[in-house]
Amino acid sequence: MKLTLLGTGDAVGTPKIGCNCPACADAREGGKSQRFRFSILVESGQGKILIDTSPDLRQQFLRQKLSGIDAVIWTHGHYDHYAGFGEFYRVQNKVDVYGIQETLDYIDQYVSFLKPRYHYVKFHEPFELIGLQFTLFKVTHPPVETPAGVIIQEGNARVVITGDTSSDIPKKSLDLMKNPDLLIADAIVPPHIHIKKHMNSEEAMSLAKKINAKEVVLTHLSHLLRPHHIESMFLPLGYDGQVFEF
């Protein structure tokens, strides 16, 4: 199992349009603060899966030399997590898409012309794709009613992706998330800032400790964090193109 962080930015990405803060300046100079919007590529010997389809998907595909994938899993219906699906137009159609029914029905309003093949799944019920086991679990990301995190398992290897969430994750989900080899955690801002629908970096690190994660990487990062080369001395920040193999 191989995971590539295609995009580690928040909804606006870094650099933010019109901003000259230290992180945005570093991003414009080509530093690791440069962040596309959120997507993760999951690969096995049997195929490739996308978790969420970033608005920057075209650039992500070109950077990774991708020409197609086997399926998409959508975590929730926010623009920065599905809008790039249109980049499949005239490249790959009738894509198999998996997610909670409410999520897929909402996104269908915007991508129905692409004729994706929808597969409704339920929270906490495992399903198999490309030889890997996937499980969606409920998180808290108001006002979204059914936001999901994702657990990926291959043999004894387990990866947990929180998706977009506050620290108020349901107990049933926390129980499922325990003891991962890798936690990929939403950590949009530094500790002195609190956002109702996301975790800050301190909350994300506390979650990693709570579920006994062997390794943690922070993603969905905003320009409000310090430039990557500085902040990464203190926190396990993810960066675009980062790879994990199990």
Please name the residue that has the structure tokens 């012309």. Answer: 113
Total structural domains within the chain: 1
What whole-number distance in Å separates Cα of residue 188 and Cα of residue 168?
A: 15
What whole-number distance in Å separates Cα of residue 141 and Cα of residue 165?
A: 5
What is the domain-level CATH number for residue 180? 3.60.15.10
pLDDT tens-digit readout, 169-183: 999 999 999 999 999
pLDDT tens-digit readout, 195-205: 999 999 999 99
Query: Hey, CA dihedral for 178, 54, 7, 242, is it positive or negative?
Result: positive
Predicted pLDDT of residue 126? 98
What whole-number distance in Å separates Cα of residue 215 and Cα of residue 144?
A: 28
Mean of per-residue pLDDT scores for the chain? 97
pTM higher than 0.85, yes or no?
yes
pLDDT tens-digit readout, 57-112: 999 999 999 999 999 999 999 999 999 999 988 888 889 999 999 999 999 999 99
Domain span at 93: 2-245
